[in-house]
Amino acid sequence: MSITKLDQMFEVLKQKNTKKRIVGAWAVDAHTIGALSQAVDIGIVQATLVGDEKLIQQVCKKENIDINKFEIVNIDSDIKAANKAIDLINSGKADLLMKGLLSTDKYMRAILNKEKGLVPPKGILSHVTVIENPTHNKLIICGDVAVIPIPDLKQKIAITNYLIKTAHALDIENPKVALLAATEQVLPSMPACVDAAVLSKMGDRGQIKGAILDGPFGIDIAIDKEAAQIKGIKSEVAGDADCLLFPNIETGNVFYKTNTKLAGAELGAVVAGARVPAILSSRSDSTKTKLYSIALGALIAN
């Protein structure tokens, strides 16, 4: 049975009964510590906080959180904390990484470090977002909205595979992937249309496995069956997509922010392509968003 609501992830993880070990890099803020505290209480992870122990103690006291539920690694700066968190992953002491109150560039620099980082040779990192829109009948798995500005075909292949892996983690056995562009026509003058057509054929030929791919599609064709019928598009994917591949970061970023800011959507997100799922929530993201991201990362790690 596929997961259709983000909070269903908690029960699935508890049923698996395999708690993942998560390490928070510079986890010294209320939202990060609060999300990790809830994840520990729910029973889906064991958590290590890497950061200034005094700051962590202050937050736990203010938020009435039992600090003893965490393992604390006392580090006095955000950069050192990020590097120490990576070391814990590399030494096999954690299965998931989470960004705390440090900036994205410092967090990513630690992940991408050529000597001690988490990215395999020629690896491609990509941001995968799972959106629960209250007006839609299923979760929307999409990318890339935050890491790759203008993905080339090779990067789009990697992103598509990450979307498929995420869908499988959500128990969607044969996900439908819509390859987005501004039109459903294959126009040689529009690179997004050409790439979508190539990816679609790669799916047909089994070069990309585990899903049904089709495109190019406009967003209306991808998620609205009536729009697909009106435009005469016959496809298993049209109007029923589980996954959306965006042609560039602008379209993806605007889509997910529009969902959250205007439609009241909730989301969880991870960075895929490293040796472990890496949670890259914004420092301003809510505790709930970070909690959903922890659960999503734990599912993918399983």
pLDDT tens per residue across span 58-90 = 999 999 999 999 999 999 999 999 999 999 999
Torsion sign over Cα 283, 288, 290, 293: negative
DSSP labels, 176-210: EEEEE-S-SS--TT-HHHHHHHHHHHHHHTTSS-S
Q: Where are the domains of the chain?
A: 8-119+274-301, 126-262
Higher model confidence: residue 298 or residue 283? 298
Region of 298 on the Ramachandran plot (φ > 0 left; ψ -120 to 50 alpha; else beta): alpha
Under the banding of pLDDT at 50, 70 and 90, the label for residue 302 is confident
CATH topology of domain 8-119+274-301: Rossmann fold (3.40.50)
- What angle do helix axes 287-301 and 30-42 make, rounded to 10 degrees? 50
User: One-letter amino acid identity for 258?
Assistant: T
283 pLDDT above the threshold of 70: no
Indicate whether 248 pLDDT > 90: yes
Task: Please give the CATH superfamily to which domain 126-262 belongs.
Answer: Isopropylmalate Dehydrogenase (3.40.718.10)
Instruction: Indicate if the pLDDT at residue 232 is higher than 80.
Output: yes
Give the pLDDT of residue 204.
Answer: 97
